[in-house]
Chain A
């Protein structure tokens, strides 16, 4: 035979039997021990005499009793949304976030006719401590993630700034500030690259060295502003007369060098040179001032006229000198 009373007094759950007026009919050992109340002496007393319950707690308990008795099903209090109903001691011996035991309470019909219910009280303090800890850790994690995201954003901004600054520095180091054409440094790099490729793939390319005829006169008579505007205009003409793969560089003053890549024969270079001479000799309008300028061009060809930067530039310059000597507004191919 089983002894229900022994079981009821040894299980780890608080058991109370009360009526709808909250009069205590029974209290098991577990509940008595946790509440410091004498079970036998308490029978017949109201819960409000035994425990400090707020008006809201009393109303809530009565509602649960009514629900349970009316529907004849359990009604639940949860530690999660109620904390506790009875101010009981909890079993935690370390420092706890809770003053009282956190309780899940199930209100079960006991005797519907006599309007009595059983209250099953479960200690959920450990679980709630863990939940609190999880919430705290989760909140800390959210804070840490927020901080990390902010730091990443700052680093990304710094990186973007750095990349922009690098671009500016690169541009300043490799491009002409007036015309935005390649400068001497970039010209050197590109020409060096063409020489290496030329040797590797037996490719030909040409160097066109040009300057404007009597450009000094423009500066002296119309001023440097007009001179500079003219140089910008000439840069645009040169760019439109060449392919995207070609290099147009300004060495300084009115001196320009063009690298015409991947050509089959010198005729191609002659055609480009003539095209440039024709385009520049057309009437120009600079800041509402009509101008007529011409250019002379010296041409050297890789590998026939040199296989180094210095040789190719020097020979193109020599050819330019020849063009000047020949009366200007012409091109000359380097002659040994």
Chain B
């Protein structure tokens, strides 16, 4: 399933850049949660867009239900960021953000997840955009609850060929909140990114 999109040098540079942007995001999330937060990246891989659904199922394992957020960014650097979270992780983050141990409503969970993904997406994409001297505008994100057993029901993603898959782990207090970030790029954007990584 894995598709090699970056050579080892490019991959190292990409990891470093993402680490820096995740550091910025972690600091802000820590401020919002009033807690020490560690955001780390256990794994980065690349896949072709046709394997997106299969990768989603693989990452979720036995869990079938999940939250999926989508946010497009357009401009000279363009693409789309997708996040997936299991309901357990989404609820755990919502409880931390709202400082509420009770079971929270679906709207509260969705709203909290969007706040989290908005921060990570902004930090990460702004960093990559700055690197390629590009300009980008973020579109309004969306979130929905999906089921891996009914993936054929959802609209297929078009316009991209490549996906950078970043496993993200947010350590807050005694909680470990796992999510998966997918950066979707077309061939032209990928090539652009590869060239810049090579130059750095």
- A residues touching B (Cβ–Cβ < 8 Å)? 56, 60, 63-64, 66-67, 70-78, 80-83, 104, 106
Binds A, one of B57-65, B137-145, B178-186: B137-145
Q: Which residues of B contact A76 (CB under 8 A)?
A: 114, 118, 138, 140-141
Q: For window 84-142 of chain B, which residues contact chain A by CB distance below 8 Å?
A: 97-98, 107, 110-111, 114-115, 118-119, 122-123, 126, 138, 140-142
Query: Would B138 and A73 count as touching, CB distance under 8 A?
Result: yes
Query: Would A104 and B140 count as touching, CB distance under 8 A?
Result: yes
A71: contacting residue among B24, B97, B107, CB under 8 A = B24
Given known pairs A71-B126, A74-B138, A106-B140, the reply for A80 and B28 (CB within 8 Å) is: no
Query: Would B142 and A66 count as touching, CB distance under 8 A?
Result: no
Given known pairs A67-B119, A76-B118, the reply for A81 and B140 (CB within 8 Å) is: no
Inter-chain CB contacts under 8 Å: number: 61
Task: For chain B, give the interface size range.
Answer: 20 to 34
Given known pairs A67-B28, A82-B111, A83-B107, the reply for A73 and B126 (CB within 8 Å) is: yes
Q: Which residues of B contact A75 (CB under 8 A)?
A: 115, 118-119, 122
Query: Would A82 and B107 count as touching, CB distance under 8 A?
Result: yes
Complex CA–CA separation, A78 to B71 (angstroms):
12
Complex CA–CA separation, A73 to B125 (angstroms):
10
- B residues touching A (Cβ–Cβ < 8 Å)? 24-25, 28, 31-32, 97-98, 107, 110-111, 114-115, 118-119, 122-123, 126, 138, 140-143
Complex CA–CA separation, A47 to B114 (angstroms):
24
Q: Which residues of B contact A83 (CB under 8 A)?
A: 107
> How many Å from the CB of A296 to the closest CB on chain B?
71
Complex CA–CA separation, A74 to B74 (angstroms):
13
Query: Would A81 and B119 count as touching, CB distance under 8 A?
Result: no
> How many Å from the CB of B143 to the closest CB on chain A?
6
> How many Å from the CB of A180 to the closest CB on chain B?
48
B142: contacting residue among A60, A67, A70, A80, CB under 8 A = A80
Query: Would B32 and A66 count as touching, CB distance under 8 A?
Result: yes
Q: Which residues of A contact B123 (CB under 8 A)?
A: 71
Q: Nearest chain-B residue to A107 (Cβ)?
A: B118
Inter-chain pairs besides A74-B138, A106-B140, 5 sampled, C-beta below 8 Å: A66-B32, A67-B32, A71-B123, A72-B126, A81-B143
Q: Which residues of B contact A67 (CB under 8 A)?
A: 28, 32, 115, 118-119, 122
Q: Nearest chain-B residue to A71 (Cβ)?
A: B122
Q: Which residues of B contact A80 (CB under 8 A)?
A: 110, 142-143
Q: Which residues of B contact A106 (CB under 8 A)?
A: 140
B25, B110, B140, B142 pick with most chain A CB within 10 angstroms: B140
Given known pairs A76-B140, A80-B142, A104-B140, the reply for A66 and B28 (CB within 8 Å) is: yes
Query: Would A63 and B32 count as touching, CB distance under 8 A?
Result: yes
A-B contact pairs, 17 of them (CB 8 A): A56-B98, A63-B115, A64-B115, A66-B28, A67-B115, A70-B28, A71-B24, A72-B126, A73-B122, A74-B122, A75-B118, A75-B119, A75-B122, A78-B142, A78-B143, A81-B143, A82-B111
> How many Å from the CB of A29 to the closest CB on chain B?
23
9 closest residue pairs by CB, A with B: A81-B110, A73-B122, A81-B111, A71-B122, A70-B28, A63-B32, A82-B111, A74-B138, A76-B140
Q: Nearest chain-A residue to B119 (Cβ)?
A: A67
Q: Nearest chain-B residue to A69 (Cβ)?
A: B28
Q: Nearest chain-A residue to B32 (Cβ)?
A: A63
Given known pairs A66-B31, A66-B32, A106-B140, the reply for A78 and B122 (CB within 8 Å) is: no
Complex CA–CA separation, A104 to B114 (angstroms):
13
Given known pairs A67-B118, A71-B123, A83-B107, the reply for A78 and B140 (CB within 8 Å) is: yes
Given known pairs A63-B32, A73-B138, the reply for A78 and B126 (CB within 8 Å) is: no
Given known pairs A66-B31, A66-B32, A67-B122, the reply for A78 and B114 (CB within 8 Å) is: yes
Complex CA–CA separation, A64 to B25 (angstroms):
13
Complex CA–CA separation, A82 to B141 (angstroms):
12
Complex CA–CA separation, A60 to B24 (angstroms):
20
Given known pairs A73-B122, A76-B141, the reply for A81 and B28 (CB within 8 Å) is: no
